[in-house]
Amino acid sequence: MNTFFQLLISALLVSSLYTLVAVGFTMYVGVINLANFSHGDTCVMGTFLLMPLFLFATKMGWMTPLAGLVIPALIILVILVTGLWGAGIYKILVKPLLVAPRLILLLASVAAGQVIREAIRVIYPNGSNPQVFPKLLPSGGIELSGLTLGYDSLTIIFLTIACIISLNFIIQRTKMGLAMRAVSQNSDVSQIMGINIEKTIISVFILGSALAGLAGILNGTYYGIAKFNLGSNLGIKGFSAAVIGGLGDFQGAIIGGVLLGFIEVFASAYIPNGSQYQDVFSFLAVIAFLIFRPSGILGEKIFEKV
C-alpha cells in the first residue's frame, strides 16, 4: 500500500511534467500543423537558464532573507525569456519556412533543437556532464499516517494544475483563446473573419515555450539534476502524450500526459527489470496508438481534405 501510494505520487509528478510539454506541442500542431521538435530543448533551456540565475542570486546574498520572493521571481523571469524565445523561433525560423514543404520545416525544428542542445553543452561550464540542480522548493512535507507528501512534489503538482486551469481559461474564455480555436479549426475562414492569424500564432508560441520553460525548471527540481541532452527525451515524451491524447487537442494533451506518466511509472515498478526500459514502455504505448487509434483518445477520425 505504502509503495503504491509513493508510486501514485511519482506518476502524478511525471504526468505533470509530460502534460506541460505536451500542451505546447499540441498547440503548435493545432495552429500551424507543425511538430516542433525543438520543444523539448526549449524546456532544457529553461532548466539551464535558471541555474546561473540562482547561483547569482545566492552569491548576491538575496536568498537568505528573501528566498520566498526571489525564487518565484527567478522562475517568472525564466518563463518570460523562454516565452520570448518561442516568439523568436516563430519569427526567425518557422514563419519563413511556412511556404516550404512541411518536411523542411520539420527538419529545421530538429536542427534548431540540436543547436539549442549543443549550445547549452558548450556554453555552460562543464556542460557535458550532469549538473546538480539547486533546491528551489522547501524540503520536508506533510506526514499522513506514515506517508510523506513532500512539499516539492505538492508544489509541482499544484503549479501544473494551476497552469492548466489558467490556460484552459485563456483558451475557453478570452478573445485570444477564441482566435486560437478558430485558427486551429480553419485558418482560411478565420482570416476572413478578421482574426489576426499572425498574432494568434505568436501567442501560441509564447505560451507553449513559456510552459516548456516551466516544465524544464520543474523537471530539474523533480530529478535534482540537469543535463544538456534531456530535451530530446522530454520533447518526444511530450509529443507522444499529445499523440495519445489526440494531436491538436488541448484536453487530449492533458489526458495523454497523465496516461503516459502512469504507464511509465507503474510499468517500471511492476515489470521485472522495468526501470531500465522505462522509455520503451512509453514508446510501445504510442506505437500501439498509432496503429489502432492514430487520432488519439479524444481526436475524431479525420478525413484528409482533398
Partner 1 sequence: MSHSNTGIPNSNAFINRIITPFLLFVVVAIVYAIVAYESVVVTLLSLVIGASLFVGYSKIPGLKEIIKESIRKDKIILLVTGLVLAIAIPLTLRSQPYIIHILVIAEISIILALGLNFQVGSTGIPNLGYAAFYGVGAYASALLSTRLGISFWISLLAAGFIAALFGWLVGLPTLKTRSYHMALVSIAFGLVTYIMLNNLAFTGGPNGIKNIPAPEIFGWSLFSSIKIFGNAYPVQLNFYYLVLFITLLMVVVSHFVYNSKIGLFWNAVREDEIAAKCSGINASALKLLSFSMGAFLAGIAGALYAHYVGYISPENFNMNTSLQVLGMVIMGGMDNIFGVSIGAFILSVAPEKFRALADFRMLATGLIILLMLMFRPSGIIKQQIRIYATKYFSSKKSSNGDTNG
Partner 2 sequence: MAEPLLTVANLTMKFGGLTAIDNVSWTLHEDEILGIIGPNGAGKTTVFNVVSGLYTPTGGEIRFRETLINGLPPHKIAKMGIKRTFQQSRLFDTISVLDNVLIGMATISKGIFVNSLFRRDLLSKELALNIKDGLELLHHFSDYLAENLYRRAGDLVPGERRKLEICRALASNPDILLLDEPAAGMDPNESAELMDDILKIRALKKGIGIILIEHDMAVVQKTANFIVVLSYGKEIARGTFAEVSSNPLVQEAYLGSESEYARS
Ligand X SMILES: Nc1ncnc2c1ncn2[C@@H]1O[C@H](COP(=O)(O)OP(=O)(O)O)[C@@H](O)[C@H]1O
| Interface residues toward ligand X, by CB under 6 A | 303, 305
User: 228 is written with which cell numbers?
Assistant: 544538456
Does 188 contact partner 2 by CB under 8 A? no
Report the amino acid identity of residue 243: V
Q: Kind and range of the H or E element at 241?
A: helix 230-245
Does 122 contact partner 2 by CB under 8 A? no
Q: Quick one: 272 or 292, whose CB is closer to partner 2?
A: 292
User: In the bound complex, what is the minimum distance in angstroms from residue 92's beta carbon to partner 1?
Assistant: 9
Q: Quick one: 66 or 189, whose CB is closer to ligand X?
A: 189
Residues 57-76 binding partner 2 (CB under 8 A) are none
User: 269 is written with which cell numbers?
Assistant: 515498478
Q: Contact at 8 Å (CB) between 285 and 260?
A: yes
Residues 282-301 binding partner 2 (CB under 8 A) are 300-301
User: In the bound complex, what is the minimum distance in angstroms from residue 267's beta carbon to ligand X?
Assistant: 37
User: In the bound complex, what is the minimum distance in angstroms from residue 247's beta carbon to partner 2?
Assistant: 17
Residues 217-276 binding partner 1 (CB under 8 A) are 229, 232-233, 236, 239-240, 243, 276
Residues in Cβ contact with 11 at an 8 Å cutoff, skipping those fewer than 6 apart: 261, 262, 264, 265, 266
User: In the bound complex, what is the minimum distance in angstroms from residue 201's beta carbon to partner 1?
Assistant: 17
Q: Quick one: 292 or 303, whose CB is closer to ligand X?
A: 303
- Rounded Cα distance between 280 and 300, Å, is 27
Does the CA dihedral 116-118-121-122 come out positive or negative?
negative
- Rounded Cα distance between 36 and 22, Å, is 11
